Amino acid sequence: MARNHPKRRNTQAPAGGDGSPRPRQDRPRERSGGGDGEGWLWGTHAVTAALANPSRTLHKLLATENAAARLGAARITPEIILGKDLDNRLPAGAVHQGLALKAAPLNPASLEDLIDRGISHICVLDQVSDPHNLGAIYRSAAAFGFEGLVLQTRHAPPVTGVVAKSAAGAVETVSEARVVNIARALEQLAEAGYHTVGLAGEGRRNLADAVAGTAKLAIVMGAEGSGLRPAVAKACAELARIPIAPEMESLNVSNAAAIAFYEASRDRFPAA
């Protein structure tokens, strides 16, 4: 677990709203979630969000009778299937809630795409590897207005059904770009006017102070356990920390991300 106290080496606090953001059109290639699950999305939120995204090319929708009744009209007619048969079509342990959708992956984005589209708040993940954490970060990003996610082309999980289920539909609205070199991507973001803040236990400022009043922001999160790599930490404009009780060494990376996104967005989405 990454640590979040000064004098302890590390970054952020690792390992792992319901607005209506616009559907995503950019997505790196999606690969198998394991077993029979290649190309499948499952679970109510993941499937309904994909069905609502006009950029998704749909191939097959499987649903139990009850789930099909709850779903109502859809862009594709469901094939009614028994729950036990649906279990057999998906990876072991998939919590499908009676729904599974086979769909083509969305088209990829580039970092330049995110910048050119004027996305003001971006999260950069340095080798976060757990798919459940990645999905949870997607979900928090969508909730707090972080419309772009940057990952490395290696040492990061593909967007599978596991990620999509954990993201509860957010993979359809948060744009993801994959880059070869995270440190170089941070330099590129800085050149485009983004303030790049890495979460690290050795950070000199509290996170809330580091992100306050920043119009264009990139928050950088390190890997579960090891945190930010030295070259990535060095490429950040500054390192910041989430203050936590000394009895607890660290936070899960997806929890740390949610806190960071909230701190960066509390003035953007004031309470009604």
249 vs 143, higher pLDDT:
143
Lowest mean pLDDT among 5-9, 89-93, 231-235, 245-249: 5-9
Least confident of 2-6, 67-71, 137-141: 2-6
Report d(CA 47, CA 80) in Å as an integer. 15
Please give the Cα distance from 136 to 11 (Å, whole number).
Answer: 18
Q: Which residue has the higher pLDDT, 110 or 203?
A: 110
Axis-axis angle for helices 253-265, 131-143 (nearest 10): 10
* Over residues 136-151, mean pLDDT: 97
Average pLDDT, the chain: 85
Among the residue ranges 2-16, 30-44, 195-209, the one predicted with the least confidence is 2-16
Strand arrangement of the beta sheet that strand 99-103 belongs to: 40-42, 99-103, 58-63, 79-80
Band of the pLDDT at 152, cuts 50, 70, 90? very high
| pLDDT given at position 174 | 96
Mean pLDDT score, 224-234: 89
User: pLDDT higher for 38 or 129?
Assistant: 129
Burial class (CB in 10 A: 0-12, 13-18, 19+), 181: middle
Q: Whole-structure pTM over 0.85, yes or no? A: no
Greater confidence (253 vs 201) lies with 253
Quote the pLDDT of residue 24. 62
Q: Provide the pLDDT confidence category of residue 23 given band limits of 50, 70 and 90.
A: low
CA angle 121, 17, 24 (to 5 degrees): 55
**What pLDDT shows up at residue 250?**
78
Give the range among 26-35, 101-110, 188-197 with minimum mean pLDDT.
26-35
Structure tokens at 270: 């004031």
Q: Helix, strand or coil for residue 183?
A: helix
